[in-house]
Structure 1
Amino acid sequence: MTQGMRLLCVHAHPDDESSKGAATMAKYVDAGAEVLVISCTGGERGDVLNPRLADDPRIQRDIVQVRRDEMAAAQAILGVDHHWLGFVDSGLPEGDPLPPLPAGCFALEPLEVPVEALVREIRRYRPHVVTTYDENGGYPHPDHIRTHEVTVAAFDAAGDPTAYPQAGPAWQPLKLYYNGGFSKRRIEAYHEALLAAGETSPYGEWLEKWDRPERIVTTRIACAPWFERRDAALLAHATQIDPDGWFFKVPREVQARIWPFDEYEAAASFVPIVTGEDDLFAGLGGPDAADALALDPPALVLDRRTARVSA
């Protein structure tokens, strides 16, 4: 049932696709699905987080091309297609008072501009399922929050022939999911596993400061055999990940034992979401049935989005 199905994963920056749902994507690619990653920005304002590359002159000279090259390497490892939506990284302003976002950045674009760009890609690619971030962005980076707003609005508009008629024939994706990312339960499992092994855990302080409510988990994709591909894709974003850092602290074989899946929250769906769902394409009946449903969708049967935005 996976052969020929189409999945669209919308992310804010290059590297986000490799840290959020990468094993799921690799699993679906190997099962014959088509997977497209959209990066809304080029990650131009991202800090260099790998201390080994802090003084690399090529990075200092041309971070834009470096990040494009890293994305191409990760794309090849995962086996996905990729599209740049073309907007400029907003950065992550910090300080008190908080400095303003830079002019011309993604988070300050009028909403209809990136929504139209994403609607155009949805109508071209015709995905059955879309994934993105929750209304908090997974974490409150302005580009992640904007990515949520843009994706939700585009999910609604893509199937409306009166919305952005210049962007191609209407196509309604049938399911929208939020990436589960690093939930508190997952961090607790990693923390306890390290302590049980007599190791020092980097997660204790993180848990002590945890102030976010747990999200609803509707869907778990078993994907431990693809963790190695996930990690290789993330390491391809060499400027953005410390190979000796917290992300790789728990050995893969331990992760496969205590947390062998990616988690998702079904946010909107034109088909029922069953309890214990283990497939993002569940209920769609294969590509021919899903295509027919996308061209003539029924009423939504699930819509738990809490920050709907009108384009």
Structure 2
Amino acid sequence: MTSPDRRLLLVHAHPDDESINNGATMAKYVAEGAHVTLVTCTLGDLGEVLVPELAHLAADRDDTLGAHRAGELAEAMRHLGVTDHRVLGGPGHYRDSGMQWDASGHATAADETGPDAFWHADLTEAADHLVAIIREVRPQVLVTYDQFGNYGHPDHVQANRVSHYAADLAGVRSYRPDLGEPWEISKLYWTAMSASRFRDGLRMLRDAGDTTSFEGMDPDHLPPFAIEDADLDAVVDAPEHVPAKLDAMRAHATQITPDGAFFAMGVDLAAVAWGAEHYRLARGRRGPVGDSGLEEDLFAGL
């Protein structure tokens, strides 16, 4: 039975982002009876298709990848136990913006994007779609990306902007009363990856002779989504939910190869590597910390 006392809202850019970043967190809170809502901003129409027999779904062919990924997302949510998952504005309202890699190795907007791309969305219009959900669900905690979208993807950056703006607008009594009764979100977190854990994991893989997983990543020069531990605020450590997380990731079959880096580790190492999901507190007051020196519950202090 869902508890009305703990409600978690996650805002992600594309199907699969949620399972990679927060799969264990989502499964844990569902198992504990909290209400978990996922909002996905686009259906990832421009994603790369990694399954040869489904290559015809790609944007430059049949252009039906978004609809297919909606099915993958539904299957992933089944594995995590999440029954409340929505698409911002409705399926197909915002299209994947695509991306490219810049000279610094960061993701950035593609040279050409369509007018319906999420990157070009009117910020107030997009926020209003989320305001309506916030006022309906009334979550105490919202999770999204940092201001850089963790690695620069334009849709991740836009999801951050929309989430913050909607969180502000949702609490204003006089703003758009037609969207529901006002609601103030108590805590807003940015997803993060612990630099120390990522560094240790890379070294373990390399020491084991694996030179292809996370190819090109150097433990001593990590990408910007790896956040040094001093800047982390919270951790949800749920190794018991790693099997569900990995099953959810496998459900995104067009995007994540079953023999890729995420699944290269044995069960025990995977529980260590993927069972602890970290966060930075971007809004609200930090609650009590545990033995880790971090909050160990996103609802801590509420």
Report the TM-score when normalising by structure 2. Answer: 0.84
Q: Give the gaps of 5 or more residues in structure 2.
A: 104-108
Give yes or no for the alignment of 1:269 onto 2:254. Answer: no
- What 5-or-longer segments of structure 1 have no aligned partner? 285-311
3-state SS of the aligned residue for 1:47? Answer: coil
Deviation string, structure 1 residues 49-73 (Cα, Å, up to 9, x no partner): x244454669954322211111111
Question: For the Cα contact (< 8 Å) 2:241–2:275, is it kept in 1?
Answer: no
Cα 1:257–1:19, aligned 2, differ >3 Å: closer, same or farther?
closer
CA distance in 2, matches of 1:165, 1:270: 27
Residue in 2 that maps onto 1:74? 76
User: Map of 1:53-92 to 2, 5 A cutoff?
Assistant: 53=53, 55=55, 61=62, 62-80=64-82, 81-86=84-89, 87-92=94-99
Alignment check: 8 A CA contact 2:232 2:294 kept: no
Which segment drifts farther, 182-191 or 205-214? 205-214
Are residues 266 and 196 of structure 1, via their aligned partners in 2, closer, same or farther at CA, if it must alter by over 3 Å? same
Deviation digits for residues 267-296 of structure 1 (CA, Å, limit 9, x no counterpart): 111564645210001111xxxxxxxxxxxx
Q: Does 1:282 align with 2:300?
A: yes
Whether contact under 8 Å (1:218, 1:276) holds in the other structure is yes
Name the aligned partner's letter for residue 211 of structure 2: T
Counterparts in 2 of 1:173 and 1:197: CA distance versus 1, 3 Å: same
TM-score, normalised to structure 1, is 0.82
Match of 1:190 in 2: 201
Confirm or deny: 8 A CA contact 2:235 2:279 kept in the other structure.
Answer: yes
- Does structure 2 conserve the Cα–Cα contact (< 8 Å) formed by 1:190 and 1:250? no
User: CA shift at 1:111, angstroms?
Assistant: 0.6
Q: Deviations over 1:236-291 (max 9, x none)?
A: 0111111111222222311324664111111111564645210001111xxxxxxx
Distance across 2 between alignment mates of 1:40 and 1:258: 27
> Which deviates more from structure 2 when the two are superposed, residues 198-207 or residues 113-122?
198-207
- Equivalent in 170, 185, 188 of residue 176 of structure 1: 188
Q: Rate the CA distance shift 1:189–1:132 in 2: closer, same or farther, 3 A.
A: same
The number of residues matched between the two structures is 281
Q: 1:31 to 1:89 in 2, by over 3 A?
A: same
Identity %: 36
Does the C-alpha gap of structure 1 residues 164 and 252 become closer, same or farther in structure 2, counting only changes over 3 Å? farther
1:245 to 250, 260, 280: 260
Amino acid in the other structure paired with 1:29: V
Work out whether residues 53 and 239 of structure 1, in 8 Å CA contact, stay in contact via their aligned partners in 2: no
Is the 2:97–2:110 contact (alpha carbons within 8 Å) kept by the matching residues of 1?
no
